[in-house]
Amino acid sequence: MHPFRQAVEARDAAAIEALLADDVVFTSPVAFKPYAGKPITAAILRAVMRVFEDFRYIREIGDDDSRDHALVFEATVAGKLVTGCDFLHVDDDGLIDDFMVMVRPLSAATALADAMGAQFDRIQREALQAGSAPA
């Protein structure tokens, strides 16, 4: 089992963040432009944990020694069943440096966009606070 999956299933935000490279790029299923950096990506993932209900991974694709992994999931957002996939790429240190999410169907993607939009001010505040914290 991929360490990211273990951290998500444990709902361990600190462990999730520890698996992200400083220069991670997060590509959202509902935003046009990717987000760059660990603080914003970690804040987005914390928000996702707040808006997804009944989240569960249903399939994991990728060998343990592979740098690319696909984690297929199901969850509910605003009463809509979401099926999606987290596509992860890890760097030489084993940290996630590329993270892309895709979801379906459109009605669920729209519900996710609305729910995440409602979280965006908090996401930005958390990212700014983390980015200004001493290392």
Report d(CA 105, CA 80) in Å as an integer.
9
Residue 80 gets the label, from left (phi > 0), alpha (psi -120 to 50) or beta, of: beta
Report d(CA 10, CA 100) in Å as an integer.
21
Query: 10 Å Cβ neighbour count for 131?
Result: 12
Q: Which domains does the chain carry? A: 3-132 (3.10.450.50)
| Alpha-carbon 24 to chain mean position | 11
Report the percent of the chain where pLDDT is more than 90: 78
pLDDT (mean) for 74-101: 96
Amino acid at 80: K
Please indicate whether residue 86 or residue 31 has the higher confidence score (pLDDT): 86
Report d(CA 12, CA 92) in Å as an integer.
23
pLDDT (mean) for 6-18: 95
pLDDT (mean) for 71-87: 96
Q: Kindly calculate the radius of gyration of the chain based on its CA atoms and give it in whole angstroms.
A: 14
134, pLDDT greater than 50 = no
